[in-house]
Amino acid sequence: MEGETSLFETSEMVAAFLASTPLLSESWSLCRSTTATAASAETFTVSRAGDVSYVAFSGVQAFGVLDPGCGNLVAVDGGVFSVLRHHVEADEEAEEPVMVHAGMLSLFHSMLKYTNFESQMYEIIKQSKSVVFTGHSIGGTIASLSTLWLLSYLQSISSPLNVLCITFGSPLLSNESLSKFILQERWGGHFWHVVAKHDIVPRLLLAPLSPLTQLHALLQYWHLSMTSAQLPVTGQDFCSLAQNAALRQDIVVQLPDEEKNRLFLFVLACAEASAKAGRSGRCSFFWPFGNYVFCTNEGAVCMDDGAAVVNLMHLMLVTGNASSSIEDHLKYEYYVEKVSMQFLKRTGFVEGEFFESSYEAGVTLALQSSEIASHELVSGPARDCLRTAVRMGRAPNLKSANLAIALSKITPLRAQIEWYKASCDKSNDQMGYYDTFKLRGASKRDAKVNMNRIKLAQFWDSLIRMLETNQLSHDFHKRSKWVNASQFYKLLVEPLDIADYYRSRGMHREKGHYLKHGRERRYVIFDRWWRNRKVGEEENTKRSRYASLTQDSCFWARVEEAREWIENVRSESDMRKLAMLWENIHKFERYARKIVERKEVSRDVLAENSSYSLWVKELSELKSQMHQFPPRFPVFFEGESAP
């Protein structure tokens, strides 16, 4: 357990740091004042404190977006969030695109269209060093979308502006794809979501909205409560205050305890189901992103793992009731003050309580801050949840380090294949690397290379499984060490896989050609990694000599298809099929000529008896025959008609 104890960082450290700054109190103060202007149709306000600009969004501007009809997830518009468009284009294999709540996205688009939001943001970029977006309730989701929008824009102009988003009681906004995207971009630290212990709103979208018949009355109650809580109590506003109080009382009558309890139990059951799904790797419809700060009377707990966040949302709600889940949405001023006060106190343990490690002590501190007592039924699962969150935060880096060690251990296998390639290129038979392996015999050398090929495939397949099951850092595939290592592996070994596919067993005759029916998924993934890398200027320079490895790892598969096209041309009599065959042949001929001229192929491609050299000879002979013995129907090659 030494690795755990030495690397433990308690979540209370992060919570304490946030509480020690004026960020929480300042953000909440602005949320409160912005809500007070809701009646004047102000959707956001901007204020400055030195070099820091604050942008606060009203929490009561349009509670109707939580109505069932607006609750669907929709794909994010790549025109507004340009960086997301590039992400979708780059990740064709993503299970689903980045999607957000339809109603909230509509609110954000309306703000862009009908207010001076954009112009004010451009002024902030010019005049400020930092910007803090903040919002309570629905305003928190608009703050998150605004942060995402600004981060996308700043990335396109390479601006050094610091951006932070602090939300209070914000509903969930998006699917898991956005969470993954934010982690890959390393934007997680920009988003901080403050959640009161029992507040039902951040948990609300874990449940389908259509059965929630009580929701409309509840939204009205929150709306009126937040508005009247901000109204001055002097002059003409006494009337407004009295009217709101009367309306709230009417709503309470419309929503009796039985209905509130039914709503609470329904959301609680859905939260439990989402927590179970998250632990098994199956995410719910909506999913958290960024950092979550759970506030209680005893302090705060911070975590950034989505599954752990949903799990703690459920476990904390278990300790509440219908009334506390509704009232907690209106108590963020109290919790912000409480967290700041708790920072000034020193948290202690029960006398005589000892721990095996600082790791266990930190988990106990976090459990204290969650205000879940040790005698409560959920204390055991809560402790496990906190342990899981800590492990998930550390494990990816540890596993990445272990993978680096494993990569160094398989380097000799790769080196042996490189030696094999060099010896093939120098061989007197002039067949080259690909054809030598394709026509290999039963020698120890050939068997050794084949075994190395299989072992390397197992290593890279295992790595991909770890990445796809969130065992590695979310930006792992962007790290140059692994992008370059996977590319070199692909260029070196995929020609051997193609050779094995077209070997005497003739798998292509049973399954179809390699490119569509035989290519392993790992190579498709490595293509995407390489395509999305940051390209240096040196990569655009013209080659002065042939590449050590052919830069198109599928080149030999294209050669095999082209050879079959020539065979088919000799026997095909259908005019349209014949024209299509010639079109394919000419397309490959132009492509091959281009990469040879650019020296993007290895010398083995041009070996006298390589499959490519033989194909060039076959094509030349076929063209000669076409001129000497005109076919029954005209065909086209090199843009000219053969009568």
| C-alpha torsion sign, points 597, 600, 604, 605 | negative
- Let me know if 257 is a catalytic residue: no
Tokens describing residue 622: 């076929």
Chain centroid to Cα 580, Å, comes to 41
Q: Exactly one of 199, 328, 500, 552 is catalytic; which is it?
A: 199
CA distances from 629 to 617, 618, 622, 624 (A): 18, 16, 10, 9
Evaluate whether 583 touches 609 at the Cβ level (below 8 Å). no
Distance, CA of 329 to CA of 202 (rounded, Å): 9
Indicate the SS3 state at residue 600: coil
C-alpha–C-alpha distance, residues 251 and 253, integer Å: 5
- How far apart CA 207 and CA 209 sit, in angstroms, is 6
CB 340 within 8 Å of CB 24: yes
Q: CA-CA distance, 385 to 392, in Å (whole number)? A: 10
Q: Which long-range contacts (CB under 8 A, 24 or more apart) does 380-388 make?
A: 381/311, 381/315, 382/312, 382/315, 382/316, 385/308, 385/311, 385/312, 385/315, 386/11, 386/301, 386/303, 386/308, 386/312, 387/363, 388/305, 388/307, 388/308, 388/311
Within its chain, how far is the Cα of 291 from the centroid?
Answer: 15
Confirm whether 137 is a catalytic residue.
Answer: yes
For 396, the token pair is 């990816």
If one counts every other C-beta atom within 10 angstroms of the C-beta of residue 341, the result is 11
- Which residues neighbour 591 within 8 Å (Cβ) at sequence distance 6 or greater? 558
| CB atoms closer than 10 angstroms to residue 75 | 15
CB 413 within 8 A of CB 455: yes
The phi, psi pair for 291, rounded to 5°, reads -100, 140
Active site residue 228: no
Residue in this structure with the two tokens 């494993």, named with its chain if needed: 406
Kindly report the number of other CB atoms within 10 A of residue 228's CB atom.
18
Tell me the two tokens of residue 535. Answer: 């390209």
* Amino acid at the residue 533: R
Query: Beta partners for 192?
Result: 166, 291
H-type alpha helices, 168-256: 176-184, 201-204, 215-230, 237-254
- List 101, 329, 477, 508, catalytic entry: 329
Cβ contact 461:526 at 8 Å = no
Candidates 11, 137, 284, 400; catalytic one: 137
SS3 label, residue 231: coil
DSSP 3-state assignment of 634?
Answer: coil
Angle formed by the axes of helices 23-36 and 332-344, nearest 10°: 160
Instruction: Give the C-alpha separation, 540 to 374, whole Å.
Output: 62
Q: What order of strands is seen across the sheet that includes strand 52-57?
A: 44-49, 52-57, 130-136, 162-168, 191-196, 291-296, 299-303
Active centre residues (catalytic):
137, 199, 329
